[in-house]
Structure 1
Amino acid sequence: MMKIIKSIILILFCASVSQAQSPNDELRNIDSTKPFILTYKKIDSVRLDLTFRYPPKFKKNKKYPAIIFFFGGGWNGGTTEQFKPQAEYFASRGMITVLADYRVKSRHKTTPYEASSDAKSAIRFLRQHAEELNIHTEKIVASGGSAGGHLAAVTGVCPTLDEPDEDLNISSKANALVLFNPVFDNGPEGFCHERMGERWKEISPAHNISKDAPPTIVFLGREDHLIPASVAENYKAKMDEAGCRCDLFLYDDAGHGFFNNYKYDGKFYVETVRETDRFLKSLGYVKGKPKISLNSK
């Protein structure tokens, strides 16, 4: 009798392990013709989701570059709707696009550290399930604005902040970065230094640049009241010194959040998307000329 009980327990244990190691069941029923949502992380009762869009002429036997967007909001709030226009555009250009939710202070009582870990978890999820999602594992772009730009930069240059219980053999590092008025510097003279505590060097992208930093494009308005142009210029100088590509675009008469499609009559939205398109083409992620103008936004 005991042998039978032990056998049943063993079977149940193996089944549970198998289920834990198998892809998310939701991946089996993907409909690539419309946006769909997958949960990439669970923390107690909190579920964090990714919203996917696929290219119009998606082919199941092909691997696609992906771009994941992190919304801004000072790690305090914000929604995935912010980068929906950019996601729709780059899906039309042949990329798999992803809008990432992550923990913020207003909804989850968390700090920038939890948000950074979530961003890394999101990149890791894309790689872990790249086969099912048709994602090219060496062509994952992280993008975001303001605090979301910080999170994207963290996935590219900050070597720590991963969740310790995840499979750290799967990289959480983005292959390229597209950053809109990003928070780069969390040092003593930088943005929200008081929120970072003694570990601030871990979470400050400007203090983690190395020769392995991914190619990066940065957009910033010269009238930004939160991120001075000098911060971006210093970041580019450090990237240049490390031998890494960093394209910097500074815009006159543009304030914080200038890149959103609902600001400045969409002028800077179009300009930044066009330059992003050219940047991604130079990396071999998209083909042809940009397909955006003020009339098409």
Structure 2
Amino acid sequence: MNGRSTLVALALFVSIATQAMGEQATAPAIEPDVVYGHKDGLAMTMDVFRPEGESNQAAILFMVSGGWYSRWAPPEQTRNFLAFYLKEGYTVFAVRHGSSPKYTIPEAVSDVRRAVRFVRQNAERFDIDPNRIGVTGMSAGGHLSLMLGTTGEDGQDDAADPLLKTSSRVQAVVALVPPTDLRVIVWDSSEGQSEYHSFPALNLPMDKAEEFSPLVQVTPDDAPSLVMMGGEDKLVPAVHGTWIDKAMTKAKVPHQLKIVPDVGHNLITATNAAEMQRAMLDWFDKYLLEESAEGK
């Protein structure tokens, strides 16, 4: 190959490689550590996972929270856990909030509300429909999901922070083993030992426990919610699901309570994983795809 041919071939290679890199930069399969806000000099981050095939334009925010601790994990590991959503065309956001013990439950709720606003404001960037946003989580993550579903609000037109002008409402919730009434599990440091004493986030005054209990916040305009509880759960007994089921029935909120017998707080097992995943997908399909397509 002569020098001219070599230069032409090299130019073509660079052009193709640059185009490929550009396409990857705009829509990588995993976009880790996307910053959705700052506080106390720290970045609040989420990992973004693109669907495996064509996007269905719907988004699912996964609350990374257990005991209101929010820990970082390798994105590839998180992606494997959420792969069943990605295979169905959903774009998934793994949202980390300010973690216990440094930050409280009210602060965690504020963080995840901001995350919803951020995703909605950046809908075009993430190739999603801003009116097709669902949330899910397990245990404390389920609690935060229900808080988003029961307390979502429209944007604040007079807010100084431009992001607060964007709505924090979500269109569907899937909450796994969520505590729905914090009033029965909070503890005061001045009182005796509680079975929940190992969770610093639950050291809340009763007025805050009431304000941040999804059960207390149920109103007719809440997001359709699927609540799944373990029949043998000792940490968050299934009665938490029964309580919010009654409240949502009274308020006429579209919802479903599923109590899985013979399992505890670790709701998803090797034997029921496929069934659980199908139930979650069916709920999001109904309220993020079918209902949205009908203009509801």
Would you call these one fold, judging by a TM-score over 0.5? yes
Query: Of the candidates 173, 176, 201, which is equivalent to residue 177 of structure 1?
Result: 173
**Following the alignment from structure 2 to structure 1, what is the Cα–Cα distance between the partners of residues 187 and 127?**
39
Instruction: Return the TM-score normalized by structure 2.
Output: 0.76
Structure 1 pair 284–157 and aligned structure 2 pair: CA distance change class (3 A): closer
Residue 248 (structure 1) shift: 1.1
Contact 2:69–2:100 (8 Å) recurs in 1: yes
8 Å CA contact retained: 1:175, 1:214: yes
Identical amino acids, percent of aligned pairs: 25
Give 2:278's match in structure 1, choosing from 274, 279, 290: 274
Which residue is 2:86 aligned to?
Answer: 91
| Native 8 Å contact 1:64 1:136 kept in 2 | yes
Q: 1:207 and 2:216 equivalent?
A: yes
Amino acid at match of 2:280: T
SS of the residue 1:220 aligns to: strand
TM-score, normalised to structure 1's length?
0.75
Structure 2 residue aligned with 1:11: none
Pairs within 5 Å for 1:101-140: 101-106=96-101, 109-140=102-133
| Contact 1:145 1:181 survives alignment (8 Å) | yes
Task: Give the counterpart of 1:224 among 208, 229, 233.
Answer: 233
Tell me by how many angstroms 1:253 deviates: 1.3
Matched position secondary structure for 1:100: strand
Indicate which of 240, 243, 247 corresponds to 2:256: 247
Distance 2:67 2:247 in 1: 24
Alpha-carbon distance, 1:270 to partner: 2.3
Compute the displacement of 1:159 (Å).
5.3
Over 3 Å counting, the alpha-carbon distance change for 1:220 and 1:80 in structure 2 is farther
Match of 2:65 among 69, 72, 89: 72
C-alpha spacing 1:145/1:79, structure 2 compared with 1 (3 Å) = farther
* Segment of structure 1 superposing worse, 134-143 or 196-205: 196-205
Alignment-mate amino acid for residue 276 of structure 1: M
Q: Which of 139, 142, 149 pairs up with 1:156?
A: 149
1:54 corresponds to: 50
Corresponding residue SS for 2:170: coil
**Displacement of 1:79 after TM fit?**
4.2
Distance in 1 (CA, whole Å) between partners of 2:138 and 2:160 is 28
Quick one: distance in 2 between partners of 1:64 and 1:232?
30
Q: Deviations over 1:31-53 (max 9, x none)?
A: 42420021111113211111111
Query: 1:69–1:83: 8 Å Cα contact kept in structure 2?
Result: no
- State the Cα distance separating 1:114 from its structure 2 match: 1.1
Displaced runs of 4 or more, over 6 A: none
Asked whether the equivalents of residues 182 and 212 of structure 2 are also in contact (C-alpha less than 8 Å), the reply is yes
Structure 2 Cα separation of the partners of residues 85 and 218 of structure 1 = 23
CA distance in 2: counterparts of 1:237 and 1:211, whole angstroms: 13
Give the letter for the 2:181 counterpart.
Answer: D
Q: 2:245 matched to which residue of 1?
A: 236
Q: Over aligned residue pairs, what C-alpha RMSD do you find? A: 2.6
Aligned residues of 1:66 and 1:97 also touching (Cα < 8 A): yes
Provide the rounded CA distance (Å) in 2 between the counterparts of 1:89 and 1:111: 31
Matched to 1:110, the amino acid is Y
Quote how far apart the aligned CAs of 1:254 are.
Answer: 0.5
Letter in 2 for 1:267: T
2:95 aligns with 100
Name the aligned partner's letter for residue 283 of structure 1. Y
- Which residue of 2 is the match for residue 35 of structure 1? 30
Partner amino acid, structure 1, of 2:204: M
- 1:58 CA displacement: 3.8
SS at match of 1:116: helix
Contact 2:177 2:236 in 1 (8 A): yes
Higher-Rg member (1/2): 2
Q: 1:36 to 1:219 in 2, by over 3 A?
A: same
CA distance in 2, matches of 1:87, 1:111: 27
Report what 2:193 is aligned to: none
SS at match of 1:103: coil
Q: How far did 1:93 drift?
A: 0.2
Change (3 A) 1:237 1:193: farther
Q: CA 1:110–1:152 in 2, change beyond 3 Å: closer, same or farther?
A: same
| 2:147 counterpart SS class | helix
Query: How far does residue 216 in structure 1 lie from its aligned partner after superposition?
Result: 0.6
User: How many residue pairs get matched?
Assistant: 247
